[in-house]
Amino acid sequence: MSTNKRQDTQQRVLACLAAELSSIFVVLDPFAPSFGASLASVTNARVIDAWPHARDCFSSAAEVRVMSEVNALRQAWAVATQSDLKLAVLYRSANLSVNPEVIAQLAKLAAISLPKLKDEVAICLIKAQLTGHVIPPSLVGHIDLKPGLRLRYGLAHHYAKNPTALTLLQVAATHRNASDYLRSRELGRAVRAIVQAGQPLKRLTELEFFLLSNKAVRLAIGSDECRQHLLPLSIQQTLQPELFTDLDYDHKPEKIKQLERLARALTYLDLESVAEITNALLLDKATKALAIDVLPVLDRKRNLLVAEQSPHRDAGHHSYSVRSRVGRTRSGKSAQHIWSPLASVAFEWFQMLPARFRPPAWWTLSADELAQQIINGSLVITDVHPAELQLLQRTWQKRDKLAFYQAKRYWALESAVDLPVKVTLLDLRVLSTTNKRFEEAIVVRLAKSRDPRPALDIIKQSGRAATLEQIKLLAEKAELDWETWILPAIGSKAWSEKLDYFRWNSPDVLLLGINFLLDDGVALEPAGFKSLMGR
């Protein structure tokens, strides 16, 4: 068969497999006991002619003899792999064949292709035929369908996997693009269908109820039917009337609120809420035991929320190990945030929590001890979260920062730190060539010193006009007036006359304000500046 004929055949096969499958779910109830049978009936009616027509495409294209039905199936399957839904159409249609060889070949092809499929509708239709067990698709990716329908199938999909009240409420409260009306309507519809079908529905536990979001609580108490079948009996008996009308009513006991605050502090590194972490040591035994169960749930809910809101992380950010970290501060609103070690008794209590909440062992060390660990290489940059490092940098003394510089642990230094005078301006500039963030340290040093000679020395040693321009820009960042800062150090009237002689080839910045130089000004190595100017 020529290339043109083969391409024409492929296009005709794809046209035969163009049955619309997503819309079949509009007329079905995913919670009905007959959903599986209804799905098969509607699907078969829609795809019944797909395989016979696709098979005929190969028969008419064969030049020597009619292609066998099994070989035609292989060829059609290869073409249909361009689309998950077309593959599902071919699979369901060919399964209506009375040829046992076709059915056997179809099972082999499906076993190979099924693990590679992405579209959940195609997966549902093929798995339902293979296993006889139907889990309704969530339809989350089929945005052409109405939000209410996608929410209905989202509820049915997750309920089929985990038939609990908590599952229904979580899906209803968090489903994307659904209004409060749709959430309430579809949750009520789901509960009624489940109850009428006599299907199992595990109620909420008290703890699950207390951990619900406010939106999920409003859904749970939105109707007599939902309250009766979703809420634990103890909550139904003690439910306060204001919960039905007050949208701001807080259904959570103080212990749960306290643990939620603790979870936020652990997870978000909230420097202002460190008191919650310290107070964790004062929790009564019952609350401490509750924390071991509740904190992982709170953290898991947060991670799911973050994943939905920010599916793509910035690839430019450094990736640290997944571990919660705690900020520390002295009490008082105006207190400076500094490092304070975690008490050993606190560290022991955190060890009872799941691994993601356990702080690293070095949290129990003082700032001085941590400085020594950094200097000797025991603690490296990947061990320390940026917010932790920031607290430490505010705590360390000048001697520590000088030690980091001498040990070449530059990552432990603040970019704007003004290192001791032993670290010269030239040293800082050399450091900034490989660590751009240390340009800020040069600016800090220039801003604190009115003596331009160290900067001029850098210019003289470099002998490049580009260096002169760089120093000028750094001086401007330090809010130094270039003319009044650097020109008086250049020299006397005699030196000014030399510069004026070479005016045509002099950097403009050296000529500005030259007439304002004092007659008794001190020339700073005129020969060096003459060399810099290329003369």
> Coil, helix or strand for 157?
helix
Q: What is the DSSP string of 6-38?
A: HHHHHHHHHHHT----GGGGGG--TTSTTHHHH
Q: Are 221 and 231 in contact (CB under 8 A)?
A: yes
Return the DSSP state at 172: H
Return the DSSP state at 286: H
Residue in the structure block whose two tokens are 């050993």: 344
Element (H, E) at 115: none
pLDDT given at position 168? 94
> Coil, helix or strand for 178?
coil
CA angle 20, 26, 32 (to 5 degrees): 125
Report d(CA 370, CA 237) in Å as an integer: 55
Q: Are 94 and 106 in contact (CB under 8 A)?
A: yes
Mean pLDDT (10-residue bins), the chain, 535 residues: 75 86 88 89 89 82 60 88 89 88 88 87 86 85 88 93 92 87 93 89 88 87 88 85 71 80 61 54 73 71 46 32 37 52 75 75 90 94 85 88 88 77 84 80 81 74 72 82 61 52 47 31 42 39
Report d(CA 253, CA 240) in Å as an integer: 13
Close Cβ partners of 72 (under 8 Å, ≥ 6 residues apart): 54, 55, 58, 59
pLDDT given at position 385? 82
pLDDT given at position 325? 41
Q: What is the DSSP string of 344-371?
A: HHHHHHHTTS-GGGPPPGGGGS-HHHHH
pLDDT given at position 491? 52
> Coil, helix or strand for 273?
helix
Beta bridge partners of 164: 202
Copy the structure tokens of residue 381.
Answer: 């940059």
Residue type, 371: A
Q: Are 404 and 413 in contact (CB under 8 A)?
A: yes
Report d(CA 280, CA 258) in Å as an integer: 9
Beta bridge partners of 202: 164
Report d(CA 374, CA 413) in Å as an integer: 11
pLDDT given at position 372? 95
Report which of 109, 228, 230 is spatially closest to residue 163, judged by C-alpha positions.
Answer: 230
Copy the structure tokens of residue 138.
Answer: 């969530």
Close Cβ partners of 272 (under 8 Å, ≥ 6 residues apart): 329
Report which of 406, 420, 472 is spatially closest to residue 443, judged by C-alpha positions.
Answer: 472
pLDDT given at position 30? 93
pLDDT given at position 527? 46
pLDDT given at position 534? 39
Report which of 277, 367, 401 is spatially closest to residue 328, judged by C-alpha positions.
Answer: 277
pLDDT given at position 327? 41
Tell me the pTM: 0.58
Report d(CA 434, CA 429) in Å as an integer: 9
Element (H, E) at 86: helix 84-94
Report which of 409, 439, 413, 437 is spatially closest to residue 425, judged by C-alpha positions.
Answer: 439
Residue in the structure block whose two tokens are 């199992």: 200
Q: How far is CA 208 from CA 13, 87, 293, 294, 455, in A?
A: 52, 42, 11, 9, 66
Report d(CA 209, CA 232) in Å as an integer: 8
Q: How far is CA 300 from CA 176, 179, 256, in A?
A: 19, 25, 16
Report d(CA 194, CA 186) in Å as an integer: 12
Return the DSSP state at 523: P
Close Cβ partners of 281 (under 8 Å, ≥ 6 residues apart): 343, 345, 346, 349
CA 260, 266, 271, 277 torsion-angle sign: positive
Residue type, 46: R
Report d(CA 29, CA 312) in Å as an integer: 35
Copy the structure tokens of residue 417.
Answer: 């730190």
pLDDT given at position 335? 39
